[in-house]
A and B are shown apart, each in its own frame.
Chain A
Amino acid sequence: MLTRRQLLQSALAPTHFPASARAVIFLFMPGGPSQIDLFDPKPELRKWHGKPLPVEATKDLKLAFIKPNANAVASPRQFARHGGSGAEISDLLPHTARQADQLCIVRGVHTDAFNHDPGELMLMTGSMQFGRPSMGAWVNYGLGSESRNLPGFVVLSSGAPPSAGTNDWSNGFLPSAYQGTQFRRSGDPILYLSSPEGFTREMQRSRLDVIRRMNEKRRRETGDPEIDARIASYELAFRMQSAAPELLDLSSESARTLEMYGVNREPTHQYALHCLLARRMVERGVRFVLVSHGSWDDHNDIDKGLDKNCRITDQPSAALIADLRQRGLLDSTLVIWGGEFGRTPMTQQQRTDIGYGRDHHPNCFSMWLAGGGIRAGVTVGKTDELGLEAVEDRIHVHDLQATILHTLGLDHLRLTYPHSGRDFRLTDVAGLVARKLLRRPPA
């Protein structure tokens, strides 16, 4: 395991400019959490509750299921101001609220897609089409990994899986070395990690030794340097066989830490474990950790759905921030929380035998960022009083991606890969770094 000092001094691929973050933990909330009920209060909606919104405000809206004339519904949540910055956060997120001074809440995020699959792909790969590399793959391609024993891009998923599945962490057309490796919840944490039944670690080592010797002999005979890469890949696999269990062994974590995250307690356990593992991975040099918890797709019964998801994720997410901070890792670790889009101020349901819900809303939604050179204790961006459009400091997901790369010292315009006759990048043909989110003054 790397000490903090080693982590800071370890050799890096040269970046385009000085990095403020060395690792990213993306707390991905697929399905689309409702910003109106969590981070972006809209008291004005009370006036319209149960009625269609004014036509001039909704005439250009294009939504997945409902039509713009659906009835508005005000949030039943209580919002209070938190921390020195007075951030507005709803009563569904009491733990997150206590970390308000570490957060940069971004209210003006918008995207192009109003369906899950294209929306997730847009957020994770910068394009609504299948087949593009995901953010974690781009970051590892650009920076390499600092871990000798673990993959550079790890995925942890709980609850309902994201709808685009493995495409959310695909290497796309980048070499497969950059794909996200999913740590699994049952069986081996990494697929095929355990040696076969009956095989001790010594036997595995001696199996690897005979393979290595024969491969080395073939290397001498053929002169093919690819064989060296193959030999190295087996050595890394062997190290992963011990590093992964060590990573998952929480015996060195204090009872206080486990308690803080909510490990070994329901309903938080699985997601809390993933948040804690994300911290342990970052300590061990993993570059990009995608922690996914779904689904936030509350078309019906949104009060119940949000309550459930917040009870699961609020405490562990907040604990991750606090824990990174107390270990001095928050400054170099960028944490992002958010989904592929937000939800509408209108309800989807007319029926009375099913609780009301909200439709997908791509035009404005909220995310938060923390650490890694991002400003702390601020709320950036503003949406209109009905929560239909972002009106100030609008941040497209391409801008968000450009900003994430920027914190890692990467210029999104220069992080390119040639494929099918042109250079591709994460931000497609767009993206502007959202300098307002950065702690350092604009260069």
Chain B
Amino acid sequence: MMIPLLAFLAVDFARDIEPLLASRCTGCHGERTQMKGLRLDNRAAAARVLGAADSLLLQKLEDGSMPPVKPKLTAAEVARFREWIEGGAPWPDGTKKPAAAKARHWSFEPVRTATPPVTRNRAWPRNEIDRFILARLEKEAWEPSPEAEKSTLIRRLSLDLTGLPPTAGEVFAFLTDNRGDAYERLVDRLLESPHFGERWARPWLDQARYADSDGYEKDYVRPHAWRWRHWVIGAINDDMPFDRFTVEQIAGDLLPGATVDQRIATGFHRNTLTNREGGVNNEQFRVEQVMDRAATIGSVWLGLTFGCAQCHDHKYDPVSQKDFYQMFAFFNSADELDIDAPLAGEMGPYLAALPEYRKKREALLAGCGVAKHQAPWEARMKEARAQPGKWTDWDHAFDALTKYLDNALTILDTPPAQRTQKQTDAMTDHFVRNYHRVISKDLWKELRFVELRRKLTELRVGFPALSEAPVLVERPVRRPSHVLTRGDWKNPGAAVEPLPPAFLHTVPAGVEPPRLTLARWLVAPENPLTARVAVNRIWQELFGRGLVRTAEDFGAQGEKPSHPELLDWLAARFRDSGWKRKALIKTIVMSATYRQSSAARPEIDARDAGNTLLSHQSRLRLPAETIRDSALAVSELLHTAVGGRSVRPPLPDGVIELAYGTDAGWPESTGRDRYRRGLYIHFQRTVPYPQLMNFDAPDASLAACKRERSTTPLQALNLLNDPVFIEAAQGLAARMLRESPTVEHLFRSCLSRKPTSRESGLAREFLRDQEQRFASEGDAARKLHPVELPGISPEKAAAWTALASAMLNLEEFITRE
């Protein structure tokens, strides 16, 4: 088990003291105001209250008289001050550098157009990338590694570009293709595969914290979340330029004549968690969601830990608290809405069925006298809202209204006659479901609303409703935005306008709505971060680590790029040749650097343990989804349909019961949907699919800019015993027995290579041994392989299943070499 050294953390001025001075003291004792003539924004001016023996500052903090307004400092914070002052109150110069000085950090400088260096070895480089890499290796007097075997290359390319292993037929075709451009043809074919979009959507979904449920206690299912995922897969398959990809997701709704697809793109921002727990203040949670959106822009596009500036100026980067709330202001006037977004073929049946549906629904409602109860109920709701605390039960009911019904207040404030049909239905449905909160049990029984609710649901299930999509819409009147003191929504400070961070370039001129302006600013040619961050994350997918290892942080606390000129060369090329993702990926995979063998270089690895200088490729454990997909692919169980709704493959008993939310059930998918790619597995935030979590899929709470690759015993149990992988082993065995029951065919199908003689020997010995064991174990063979295969004994089928399972467990099978 890993036990890292623990960093010693004594009191640190920049980390522990300065932020508190800045957020709690200098408002009154700073540059602008000096109450009692005291300044606490520099050592010289503050010295008179910092004496170790008689510090007035410490005295005031300890007796609680300062700061004079809540929140007071915590005991721990005061203790930090004591430790600091007793230690002589060290105040390092320049911890508060002027913004201009900080802005010289490498990633805030413009992207430079670097010229690839000249290398001594002229034969090895295939393109510019290789000259950057080789020049650096030559400085160490290291040779690059030889090209990997062809069989390794096709497996590497297939997994990297489509997330699926190559079939034995594809491997054979590539190995026997002797044309000079066989490799490039393979790359082009894979770039055009519809599975390319699935593979490359995954890291984007990680960054967007995509999930199929709300999160938090209730964790309601989001039945339409998949529409945005579907859009991403399509956009990546169509090679939508990254600038447009950006603009549509940030502000597609604000483009002139926005299409439904462009509005669906804004579903990016609907991936924030939603808290419907009783008692949560709605405005507080709305503000938290907007903060999350602002922080996510920082993580995803700028590679900055923007969220750190929520409560105070960023401690290391020149992001001020004001910058954060200016970013916040871009999203503060965007509301959530689920729009009708019919799929092809839905409109006709919908229109045909609508009149009958409305008639039946109205009849059901009238039959229970809903209207006559609902009107006074709505009136009381408004009273409860105006006079909180007067009627506890109605407070509770009002809280439920705002939690469970999206945009409840907007609907409540709209006179019934002016509501849309959707609003009317939503309010009535909520009423029927929740009226019990404020009436006696007897009346509730008498009204028979439970039965009514069931009938309404039945009616709805039979009705061909239009599909919806979660999007953002801009409010007609903008909400004012403020700096929130210490991130507290109840504590607004100075008003702010939507503006990008002051230390970067200014916004493009024009009169477009602010959110659209932000989108254009992110992909403006002078933006030094967006292109660098994006190419680094693509590089990371192809080499296992970015040129900047801290892909999530390009700020002062992040690592510097290993090859700064190469990073800039790639960024400039990406930006200047139309932000084409496929072209960038092709350039990278065509390089000799990418094609190197991944075998270790003991003589070099001792000095470059992380393979930072890329003296070889890296062996990378596959992502969670790819492991599952690979097993289903080689067993030919995989259902390769692209896009569409999420699926729920079978779960072990007792897993979903962990979900606290009332809404969580797990209606198992049937037929081939059980075998769809891992990307489509319904992601319930409080109870994610276990195999995904065992293999380091992120939890969809915050933007995840890279994945861990851990090795745990639970992973071993998962691959050895999970019925999904046993079923895959059965399928693989049946396939081998049907096609060609040889160890060679098995290896070629699973690992894209033929076995060595030692491997063949081991496998055949294992088969013999297993067959004998099964023969002496009664009906064990039929249990392991229940399907009868013509002309094959159950023992043989079981032995092959055991061998197939062993193949799926090989380290090599779950590794891209």
Where the two chains meet, the residues of A that have a C-beta atom closer than 8 Å to any C-beta of B are 13, 16, 63-70, 114-117, 129-131, 140-145, 151-152, 157, 160-167, 170, 175-177, 179, 181-182, 184-188, 190-200, 202-204, 206-208, 210-211, 213-215, 217-218, 221-227, 229-231, 233-234, 236-237, 240-241, 348-351, 353, 360, 396, 398-399, 411, 413-417, 420-423, 427, 429-432
Known contacts A200-B777, A210-B762, A421 near B555 by CB under 8 Å: yes
In whole Å, how far is A284's beta carbon from the nearest beta carbon of chain B?
15
Measured in the bound complex, the distance between the Cα atoms of B16 and A398 in whole Å is: 16
Instruction: Confirm or deny: B741 has a beta carbon within 8 angstroms of a beta carbon on chain A.
Output: no
Known contacts A222-B598, A360-B279, A416-B6, A130 near B694 by CB under 8 Å: no
Chain B residues lying within 8 Å of A421, measured Cβ to Cβ, are 305, 308, 316-317, 550, 552-553, 555, 557-558
In whole Å, how far is B218's beta carbon from the nearest beta carbon of chain A?
9
Chain A residue nearest to B657 in the complex (CB):
A161
Chain A residues lying within 8 Å of B4, measured Cβ to Cβ, are 141, 417
Label chain A's interface by main secondary structure. Answer: loop
Chain A residue nearest to B799 in the complex (CB):
A203
Instruction: Confirm or deny: B396 has a beta carbon within 8 angstroms of a beta carbon on chain A.
Output: yes
Q: Are A236 and B713 touching (Cβ within 8 A)?
A: yes
Chain A residues lying within 8 Å of B441, measured Cβ to Cβ, are 353
Q: Are A218 and B811 touching (Cβ within 8 A)?
A: yes
Measured in the bound complex, the distance between the Cα atoms of B722 and A66 in whole Å is: 47
Choice from B1, B275, B710 contacting A117 with Cβ under 8 Å: B275
Q: Are A130 and B721 touching (Cβ within 8 A)?
A: no
Give 14 CB contacts A-B under 8 Å. A67-B389, A67-B395, A117-B217, A141-B2, A144-B2, A179-B693, A197-B784, A198-B798, A210-B803, A237-B720, A353-B440, A411-B6, A420-B552, A427-B76
Q: Are B653 and A187 touching (Cβ within 8 A)?
A: yes
Instruction: Confirm or deny: B215 has a beta carbon within 8 angstroms of a beta carbon on chain A.
Output: yes
Instruction: Confirm or deny: B512 has a beta carbon within 8 angstroms of a beta carbon on chain A.
Output: no
Q: Are A190 and B717 touching (Cβ within 8 A)?
A: yes
Chain B residues lying within 8 Å of A64, measured Cβ to Cβ, are 278-280
Excluding A164-B660, A196-B783, A421-B558, 4 further A-B contacts by CB distance (< 8 Å) are A115-B275, A141-B2, A198-B782, A214-B806
Q: Are A199 and B784 touching (Cβ within 8 A)?
A: yes
In whole Å, how far is A66's beta carbon from the nearest beta carbon of chain B?
6
Known contacts A237-B716, A421-B316, A185 near B654 by CB under 8 Å: yes
Q: Are B315 and A422 touching (Cβ within 8 A)?
A: yes
Chain B residues lying within 8 Å of A141, measured Cβ to Cβ, are 2-4
Chain A residue nearest to B399 in the complex (CB):
A65
Q: Are A415 and B550 touching (Cβ within 8 A)?
A: no
Instruction: Confirm or deny: B216 has a beta carbon within 8 angstroms of a beta carbon on chain A.
Output: yes
Chain A residues lying within 8 Å of B716, measured Cβ to Cβ, are 233-234, 236-237
Going nearest first, the 8 A-B pairs with the smallest beta carbon separation are: A64-B279, A223-B600, A198-B783, A67-B389, A130-B701, A165-B686, A237-B716, A198-B784
In whole Å, how far is A371's beta carbon from the nearest beta carbon of chain B?
24
Known contacts A130-B702, A142-B6, A188 near B76 by CB under 8 Å: no
Q: Are B9 and A430 touching (Cβ within 8 A)?
A: no
Q: Are B802 and A207 touching (Cβ within 8 A)?
A: yes
Chain B residues lying within 8 Å of A360, measured Cβ to Cβ, are 279
Choice from A218, A351, A414 contacting B812 with Cβ under 8 Å: A218
Chain A residues lying within 8 Å of B418, measured Cβ to Cβ, are none
Query: Per-position contact with A for B706-719: 1 when CB-CB < 8 Å, else 0?
Result: 00101111111110
Label chain B's interface by main secondary structure. Answer: loop
Chain A residues lying within 8 Å of B552, measured Cβ to Cβ, are 420-421
From residue 541 to 590 of chain B, which have CB atoms closer than 8 A to chain A? Answer: 550, 552-553, 555, 557-558
Known contacts A65-B396, A237-B720, A353-B441, A203 near B770 by CB under 8 Å: yes
Q: Are A202 and B714 touching (Cβ within 8 A)?
A: no
In whole Å, how far is B28's beta carbon from the nearest beta carbon of chain A?
22
Q: Are B773 and A223 touching (Cβ within 8 A)?
A: no
Chain A residues lying within 8 Å of B811, measured Cβ to Cβ, are 215, 218, 226-227, 230-231
Choice from A142, A167, A170, A191 contacting B717 with Cβ under 8 Å: A191
In whole Å, how far is A432's beta carbon from the nearest beta carbon of chain B?
5
Q: Are A240 and B770 touching (Cβ within 8 A)?
A: no
Measured in the bound complex, the distance between the Cα atoms of B751 and A49 in whole Å is: 74
Measured in the bound complex, the distance between the Cα atoms of B696 and A176 in whole Å is: 7
Q: Are B783 and A197 touching (Cβ within 8 A)?
A: yes
Chain A residue nearest to B690 in the complex (CB):
A191
Q: Are B701 and A129 touching (Cβ within 8 A)?
A: yes
In whole Å, how far is B377's beta carbon from the nearest beta carbon of chain A?
16
Q: Are A207 and B699 touching (Cβ within 8 A)?
A: no
Measured in the bound complex, the distance between the Cα atoms of B713 and A87 in whole Å is: 45
Chain A residue nearest to B660 in the complex (CB):
A163
Instruction: Confirm or deny: B142 has a beta carbon within 8 angstroms of a beta carbon on chain A.
Output: no
Q: Are A414 and B391 touching (Cβ within 8 A)?
A: no
Q: Are B720 and A115 touching (Cβ within 8 A)?
A: no
Q: Are A163 and B217 touching (Cβ within 8 A)?
A: yes
In whole Å, how far is B645's beta carbon from the nearest beta carbon of chain A?
24
Residue of B388, B440, B702, B720 with most partner-chain A CB within 10 A: B720
Instruction: Confirm or deny: B393 has a beta carbon within 8 angstroms of a beta carbon on chain A.
Output: yes
Query: Per-position contact with A for B12-44: 1 when CB-CB < 8 Å, else 0?
Result: 000010000000000000000000000000000
Chain B residue nearest to A416 in the complex (CB):
B7
Measured in the bound complex, the distance between the Cα atoms of B712 and A128 in whole Å is: 28
In whole Å, how far is A409's beta carbon from the nearest beta carbon of chain B?
11
Q: Are B9 and A198 touching (Cβ within 8 A)?
A: no
Q: Are B8 and A414 touching (Cβ within 8 A)?
A: yes
In whole Å, how far is A436's beta carbon from the nearest beta carbon of chain B?
13
Chain A residues lying within 8 Å of B721, measured Cβ to Cβ, are 192-196
Chain B residue nearest to A428 in the complex (CB):
B76
Chain A residues lying within 8 Å of B3, measured Cβ to Cβ, are 13, 141-144
Residue of A130, A151, A179, A181 with most partner-chain B CB within 10 A: A130
Chain B residues lying within 8 Å of A215, measured Cβ to Cβ, are 810-812
Instruction: Confirm or deny: B763 has a beta carbon within 8 angstroms of a beta carbon on chain A.
Output: yes
Chain A residues lying within 8 Å of B305, measured Cβ to Cβ, are 420-422
Choice from B1, B621, B714 contacting A191 with Cβ under 8 Å: B714
Q: Are B395 and A415 touching (Cβ within 8 A)?
A: no
Chain B residue nearest to A221 in the complex (CB):
B599
Chain A residues lying within 8 Å of B720, measured Cβ to Cβ, are 192, 195, 204, 207-208, 234, 237
Choice from B1, B279, B389, B699 contacting A130 with Cβ under 8 Å: B699
Chain A residues lying within 8 Å of B7, measured Cβ to Cβ, are 414, 416, 423
Chain A residues lying within 8 Å of B694, measured Cβ to Cβ, are 176
Query: Per-position contact with A for B266-295: 1 when CB-CB < 8 Å, else 0?
Result: 000000010101111000000000000000
Q: Are B6 and A196 touching (Cβ within 8 A)?
A: no
Q: Are A117 and B216 touching (Cβ within 8 A)?
A: yes
Choice from A176, A415, A431 contacting B708 with Cβ under 8 Å: A176
In whole Å, how far is A291's beta carbon from the nearest beta carbon of chain B?
15
Chain B residue nearest to A71 in the complex (CB):
B392
Q: Are B652 and A191 touching (Cβ within 8 A)?
A: yes
In whole Å, how far is A18's beta carbon from the nearest beta carbon of chain B?
16
Known contacts A198-B780, A207-B806, A176 near B812 by CB under 8 Å: no
Chain B residues lying within 8 Å of A188, measured Cβ to Cβ, are 652
In whole Å, how far is A135's beta carbon from the nearest beta carbon of chain B?
16
Measured in the bound complex, the distance between the Cα atoms of B769 and A421 in whole Å is: 54
Chain B residues lying within 8 Å of A67, measured Cβ to Cβ, are 388-389, 392, 395
Chain B residues lying within 8 Å of A143, measured Cβ to Cβ, are 3
Known contacts A198-B780, A396-B74, A140 near B1 by CB under 8 Å: yes
Chain A residues lying within 8 Å of B388, measured Cβ to Cβ, are 67
Instruction: Confirm or deny: B658 has a beta carbon within 8 angstroms of a beta carbon on chain A.
Output: yes
In whole Å, how far is B493's beta carbon from the nearest beta carbon of chain A?
21
Chain A residues lying within 8 Å of B104, measured Cβ to Cβ, are none
Measured in the bound complex, the distance between the Cα atoms of B76 and A193 in whole Å is: 44
Choice from B308, B659, B817 contacting A422 with Cβ under 8 Å: B308
Chain A residue nearest to B780 in the complex (CB):
A198
Instruction: Confirm or deny: B161 has a beta carbon within 8 angstroms of a beta carbon on chain A.
Output: no
Measured in the bound complex, the distance between the Cα atoms of B715 and A69 in whole Å is: 54
Instruction: Confirm or deny: B671 has a beta carbon within 8 angstroms of a beta carbon on chain A.
Output: no
Choice from B2, B6, B395, B758 contacting A65 with Cβ under 8 Å: B395
Q: Are B2 and A175 touching (Cβ within 8 A)?
A: yes
Chain A residues lying within 8 Å of B711, measured Cβ to Cβ, are 177, 226, 229-230, 233
Choice from B77, B308, B558 contacting A430 with Cβ under 8 Å: B77
